[in-house]
Amino acid sequence: MKNKNIFVACDVSSQKEILDLLELIHEDISGIKIGLQYITQRSPNEIRELSKFNKPIFYDGKFFDIKNTLVESIKSLQELNVKYATVHLLNGLDALKAANLAAKNININLLGVSVLTSFGDEDLSKLGFNNKVEDQVKTLVKIAMDANLYGVICSPLEIKMIKSIAPKLKCFTPGIRMDDLKDDQKRTLTANEAIEEGSDCLIIGRPITKGNPKENLKNILSSIKEMKSKICGISDSKTLIHLTNHSYPPQYIGFIVNYPKSKRFVPHEKLKQILNVDKKKSKYVAVLVKPNENILEEIKNLPFDYYQIYDAPPSEINLIKQKYRKKIIVSLTINGKEDVMKYLDYHDIADIILFDSKGYEKSMSFDHQLIQDIKINKELMLAGNIQVEDNLEKYKKIADIIDISGGLETSGIKDISKINIFLNKVKQINNET
């Protein structure tokens, strides 16, 4: 994700202030949200001035009125160059349908406001609502769906529930906070948590604008986990050149160095020839099964960034790491939960921990859900008969890196068309633009 679908909430009153802010950060955001504090103090010309940054403008007016007034209010936005506008879902189905039709006629996407993220159950009760927040959101989301709105404004805590009942609605989520910063928001998550829940767009104000906006945004962007990719079992220069020159290359490229049982094994002399290809943005990985000193000495001058090691005890891997000064991917082969827990033995040695199937050379599978609850300060890599046609999104919630080999082959040979599909799917998941 280049800019992670982040709209900055410009909740400031000064035109100079907002222009200075956007000058600093516009390259790293997806859009601009203006709220009531800004809207009520600025002229139409000043709103249109924001268009110079070539970012969609989100007019957060939260319109709430009788049907005729609501429709005319939406129509009045036509000359402001805005892309999104908000309406309260409490307007009701009939008024929302009419407003949505008016919005579509002027190329504006309507977003329905469910329950403000500053509200909790007690707040709703004081207003006379008998529902808890979640139940009230459900009721309102169904109205948004029936009115055919583009999306809804919701707490990140409600995304999964909304997607389950209205999968076509886009979820725009305020209430994004870093760590313990809550301010006046109650139903909050961090940016990364919201994305993992399924948010389509993050709306972030004070965590960006308070203090150093550029540095704040950088920290938020770096906190958002992206799916990385590794393509393994490369055995020819043509395929390698394609990978390294791809517009969205894999972060890691693996070569079977010392395991002749694998059909993807590359003999040493051929390996030296292949590795003459400039790796560019990718990292080269030597895949090693029970490596002895002879093979390690043989490959020590080859341009590998990582050694991916199977079937070696922690003490041995530690010696390899110290002697050859390589980053280490510890590969654990998994049948059941007891195999998963072996990662604890390698925690201090590994730079990345790979969970693979027991029959790794045969592209076998294991239950990937076995590792979904692991929480450690190491990147987790996942392999085991992953196919290009799989729903790759599900793997992002389990691991940091997806490792695929046989799933990119046709008749045992790497298939360029499957490689392109895979890399483009990863790109789409990460929303790279």
Integer-rounded Cα Rg, in Å, for the chain is 26
Residues 6+ apart with CB under 8 A from 123: none
Query: pLDDT at residue 107 above 90?
Result: yes
The amino acid at residue 250 is P
- Range(s) of the chain covered by CATH 3.20.20.70: 6-223, 228-429
What pLDDT score does 206 carry?
A: 87
pLDDT in tens, 355-412: 998 765 565 678 888 887 787 778 899 998 899 998 888 888 788 899 999 999 999 9
Which band of pLDDT confidence, cut at 50, 70 and 90, is reported for residue 183?
A: very low
pLDDT in tens, 279-337: 998 999 999 999 999 999 999 999 999 999 999 999 999 999 999 999 999 999 998 88
Complete DSSP assignment for 149-160: -SEEE--GGGHH
What pLDDT score does 362 carry?
A: 60
Which band of pLDDT confidence, cut at 50, 70 and 90, is reported for residue 4?
A: low
CATH number listed for the domain at residues 228-429: 3.20.20.70
Task: State both tokens at 433.
Answer: 């633009």
* Axis crossing angle, helix 133-146 with helix 93-105, rounded to the nearest 10: 50
Instruction: Indicate if the alpha-carbon torsion angle 31, 397, 287, 423 is positive or negative.
Output: negative
What pLDDT score does 188 carry?
A: 61
Averaged pLDDT, 236-258: 96
What pLDDT score does 274 carry?
A: 96
Q: Which of 62, 97, 142, 327 is catalytic?
A: 62
Please give the distance of CA 277 from its chain centroid, rounded to a whole number: 30
Residue burial 371-407, b: 16+ Cβ < 10 Å; e: rest: beebeeebbbbbbbbbebeeebeebbebbbbbbbbbb
In the block, residue with structure tokens 């195999």: 339
Burial (CB count within 10 angstroms: exposed 0-12, middle 13-18, buried 19+), residue 257: buried
What pLDDT score does 191 carry?
A: 80
Query: pLDDT at residue 2 above 50?
Result: no
pLDDT in tens, 255-281: 999 999 999 999 999 999 999 999 998
Averaged pLDDT, 40-49: 93
What pLDDT score does 259 carry?
A: 92
Q: DSSP assignment, residue 258? A: S
Which band of pLDDT confidence, cut at 50, 70 and 90, is reported for residue 13?
A: low
CATH number listed for the domain at residues 6-223: 3.20.20.70
Task: State both tokens at 250.
Answer: 């894999």
Question: Which residue, 315, 371, 309, is CA-closest to 339?
Answer: 371
What pLDDT score does 268 carry?
A: 96
Averaged pLDDT, 414-421: 97
Say if residues 357 and 364 touch (Cβ distance below 8 Å): yes
Between 8 and 374, the higher pLDDT residue: 8
**104 included as an active-site residue:** no
3-state helix, strand, coil in the chain (%, to 5): 40, 20, 40
What pLDDT score does 319 carry?
A: 97
Which band of pLDDT confidence, cut at 50, 70 and 90, is reported for residue 180?
A: very low
| Cα 414 from Cα 239, distance rounded (Å) | 7
| Cα 193 from Cα 190, distance rounded (Å) | 5
Between 100 and 363, the higher pLDDT residue: 100
Q: DSSP assignment, residue 3? A: S
| Cα 289 from Cα 232, distance rounded (Å) | 14
* pTM score, whole prediction: 0.59
